[in-house]
Structure 1
Amino acid sequence: MAVKKRMKDFTLMEKIYLPSIVAGLGITLQNMFKPKYTMEYPEVKFMPSGHYRGRPVLVQEEDGGERCVACGLCSRVCPALAIDIQAAETEKEKERYPERFEINMLRCIFCGLCEEVCPEEAIVMSKEYEIAFTNRQDAIYGKDKLLTPIADLQERIEFLRGNK
């Protein structure tokens, strides 16, 4: 006597499951042949646009001076308390300058509030995104690491003024 094998009917859950598997595989097949968005970092560098918020920097004028008048607004508005300024008096037309200007990059959250509040456009967010440290002291950027020539920041300054 031969044993008859009978196909079992699919349950409701199995009937719903199979079409969704086929749909998922269809999406996978479609995307397999589209261009990839992944970059081969560090061989291929990311080129950020003008509105990218990278590492905050201080603007250095063409004559070597700095724009900052040590008003302290950036320090007060920083939600992470990453900016520390110590003002000093000067004999020039502007009354004060930052004797010490430090940004703790371990605390900075790159929100850009310091850039927005600055009345002199002295602090802007650069396009630099490669920030690595070997110890915690290297993460505290003083004026020597923060001052950047205005020519390097022209695109960002134009963006802030609304010209681009």
Structure 2
Amino acid sequence: MHIGNRNPPNDAGTVTWLGPDNDIPPPEVVPPPTALPRYRDVRDALNAAAKMNRLDPAMVTAVAAVESAFDAKAISKKGAVGLMQVMPATALRYGLTSANQSDVVEQLLDPWLNANMGALILADLMRKMNRKVELVLAAYNAGEGAVKRFGSAIPPFLETERYVMKVLKLYAAWYGM
């Protein structure tokens, strides 16, 4: 099973894919991340990033699962890059230095850097959103400005509402892992 906001790859096979174009509700039982493809390849990077930014590893892991299905080379249609689907402009705002846009993308394809950048953004949003995880996740997905425009609430965007629910479901299942 995969819960994410990307459509399934051609090699998804018999995996139940809960992506943006699929209204199937998530299963009642969520498998551990170790049962999901590619998780073992990025586990150490996610755990180190969570520890460095004083975040729960289960939350960082849940965000990565939904954002990229643990695909460190993922690039979205909107230009988000890597494991945590970080936008290049956001990475620059958070301190990544680069000579040009293609260099930023190349750097963000490194799972260690990307995991840390995503965790840094989540940690900053935790401070700005008074540690309200649902608002942190909404801001990570739709932008901090969208959360503020809707009165410090989850914006009424179907994609963002589904995103928050998917991440929270995984986070709750993986809490304390």
Query: When the two structures are superposed, what TM-score results if normalisation uses the length of structure 1?
Result: 0.25
Q: Which has the higher contact order (CA 8 A, sep 6+)?
A: 1
Report the structure, 1 or 2, having the larger strand content.
1
Report the structure, 1 or 2, having the larger helix content.
2
Query: When the two structures are superposed, what TM-score results if normalisation uses the length of structure 2?
Result: 0.24
| Larger Rg belongs to | 1
